């Protein structure tokens, strides 16, 4: 019979550095997606959700033996040695309601019946992390691998790349988690240290596992574009006003600050990507399924593809809010329509950098890199507006700087006084675009 040799406790705090959604799986009636809450109405991250996301991330990104993954997280044939507690919020959580709508890429207007509302937890909340690990005597030979696993988890949770995330809409910038105080404690079964912890919450000295190196990362090609823009005139990512607000439409805000959600950016560039491909004679919707993700909501038997492109959410800086009044005009008579007055609060540029857009594509093919560069170009030269009121000139951007990373290669594009400069191998960037054009020609 197996004997418990010792226990390991991994503790820390995780902070969501982007909005997060982990739904209840059902609609509440007033919102289509409601986040999960405890008995006090506080959002929490279920241990099962965190465990599943962490397991998948480690398997996808690190060379960890399957036997150790199965031992640590569990399998159909064996119980896990690691127990993940629910990650409870340290302070009272507040939620926000956002709405979304599907856009017809041909007409660029909303699809009837495709509007939905969802509840989110804004960024900035801290959650307790606790992982209890049981080590048995017959598993002694795996202790080094176990500590390497913990070193790898520490690397994942503290890494600056912001790639580990939990919950829904993760490819639209949601659910990014970070920690800066991941610690490991060891309890020998021959001592009373575990009992002291249970009765008195007394922890031993943190175990120094820095001598154990993380497992090697897999070679995954990440192609990313991180670009800064000015707003040319105005911008509105519309939201319904609160009961105390008079305008008909106000800017979407999170934590009281104007925000450009990843959902809006991704929807706009996907529609433009489809148009670019179709204009060149290709089939945009089919060609982009494995890039942007795709699922047939009517026929569940068809293959589904998870998006490999992640768009990060960003705050909108250096803007001022101004109320704009409008009224609908009867196109036949040229007169105003009764009771058709509406007011919108727009975000107006101060002539400074306002928006930072980051796009990151996993396992990018050469033609996909070329497509992203063309999308960057359209945003850069004020040809791809974002948000609402496009017909009146809102949502147009001007590029300032773009940092492009392709594996170990990097490029920088800058704009100053109407002149554009490229640091890096400009020919390589042009070749990506050529690969995109060739891809469409081959398909035709």
The predicted pLDDT at position 435 comes to 95
CA angle 418, 422, 425 (to 5 degrees): 160
How far apart CA 435 and CA 283 sit, in angstroms, is 16
How far apart CA 115 and CA 113 sit, in angstroms, is 6
The predicted pLDDT at position 416 comes to 83
The predicted pLDDT at position 141 comes to 52
Residue 98 pairs with which residues in a beta bridge?
Answer: 118
Phi-psi region of 418 (alpha: psi -120 to 50; beta: other; left: phi over 0): left
- Whether the CB-CB separation of 136 and 4 falls below 8 Å is answered with yes
The predicted pLDDT at position 316 comes to 93
Residue 356 pairs with which residues in a beta bridge?
Answer: 228
Q: SS3 sequence, 284-339?
A: HHHHCHHHHCECCCCCCCCCCECCCEEECCEECCCEEEEEEEEEEECCCCCCEEEE
CA angle 220, 226, 229 (to 5 degrees): 165
Using 70 as the pLDDT threshold, list the residues of the chain that sit under it. 1-2, 26-30, 100-115, 138-141, 190, 240-248, 297, 299-301, 326-342, 443-444
The predicted pLDDT at position 197 comes to 80
Q: Which of 55, 47, 207, 76 is nearest to 143 (CA)?
A: 207
Q: Which of 2, 47, 8 is nearest to 147 (CA)?
A: 8
The predicted pLDDT at position 121 comes to 94
Domain ranges in the chain with CATH number 3.30.70: 4-200
Strand order in the sheet with 253-254: 253-254, 257-260, 314-315
The predicted pLDDT at position 202 comes to 80
When the candidates are 3.40.30, 2.60.120, 3.30.70, 3.20.20, the CATH number that belongs to 4-200 is 3.30.70
End-to-end Cα spacing for the chain? 66
Residue 409 pairs with which residues in a beta bridge?
Answer: 406
CA angle 404, 218, 148 (to 5 degrees): 125
The predicted pLDDT at position 403 comes to 96
Burial readout 270-291 (b: 16 or more C-beta within 10 A, e: otherwise): bbbbbbbbbeeebebeebbebb
Task: Please give the sequence-ordered ranges of beta strands (E in DSSP) within 24-145, or none if there are none.
Answer: 44-45, 82-84, 87-88, 96-103, 110-120, 126-136
């Amino acid at each position: 019979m197996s004997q418990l040799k010792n226990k390991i406790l991994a503790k820390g705090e995780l902070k969501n550095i982007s909005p997060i959604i982990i739904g209840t799986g059902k609609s509440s009636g007033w919102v289509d997606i409601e986040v999960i809450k405890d008995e006090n109405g506080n959002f929490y991250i279920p241990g099962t959700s965190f465990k599943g996301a962490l397991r998948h991330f480690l398997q996808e990104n690190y060379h960890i033996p399957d036997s150790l993954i199965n031992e640590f997280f569990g399998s159909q044939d064996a119980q896990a040695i690691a127990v993940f507690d629910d990650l409870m919020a340290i302070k009272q959580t507040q939620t926000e309601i956002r709405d979304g709508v599907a856009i017809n890429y041909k007409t660029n207007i909303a699809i009837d019946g495709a509007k939905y509302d969802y509840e989110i937890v804004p960024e900035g909340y801290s959650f307790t992390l606790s992982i209890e690990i049981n080590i048995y005597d017959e598993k002694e030979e795996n202790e080094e691998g176990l500590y390497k696993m913990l070193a790898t988890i520490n690397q994942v949770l503290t890494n600056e790349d912001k790639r580990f995330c939990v919950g829904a809409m993760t490819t639209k910038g949601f659910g990014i988690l970070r920690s800066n105080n991941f610690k490991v404690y060891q309890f020998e079964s021959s001592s009373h240290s575990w009992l002291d912890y249970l009765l008195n919450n007394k922890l031993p000295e943190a175990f120094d596992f820095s001598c154990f190196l993380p497992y090697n990362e897999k070679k995954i090609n990440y192609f990313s574009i991180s670009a800064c823009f000015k707003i040319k005139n105005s911008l509105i990512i519309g939201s319904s006003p609160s009961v105390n607000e008079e305008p008909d439409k106000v800017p979407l805000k999170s934590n009281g600050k104007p925000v450009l959600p990843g959902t809006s950016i991704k929807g706009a560039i996907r529609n433009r990507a489809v148009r670019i491909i179709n204009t060149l004679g290709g089939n945009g919707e089919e060609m982009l399924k494995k890039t942007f993700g795709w699922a047939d909501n009517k026929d569940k038997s068809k293959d589904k593809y998870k998006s490999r492109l992640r768009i990060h959410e960003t705050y909108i800086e250096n803007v001022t809010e101004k109320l704009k009044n409008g009224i609908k005009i009867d196109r036949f008579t040229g007169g105003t329509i009764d009771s058709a007055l509406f007011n919108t609060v727009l975000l107006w540029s101060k002539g400074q950098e306002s928006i930072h857009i980051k796009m990151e594509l996993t396992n990018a093919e050469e033609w996909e890199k070329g497509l992203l560069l063309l999308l960057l170009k359209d945003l850069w030269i004020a040809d791809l507006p974002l948000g609402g009121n496009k017909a009146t000139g809102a949502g147009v951007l001007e590029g300032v700087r773009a940092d492009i990373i392709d594996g170990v290669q990097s490029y920088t594009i800058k704009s100053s006084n109407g002149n554009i400069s490229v640091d890096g191998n400009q020919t390589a960037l042009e070749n990506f675009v050529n690969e995109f054009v060739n891809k469409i020609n081959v398909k035709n």
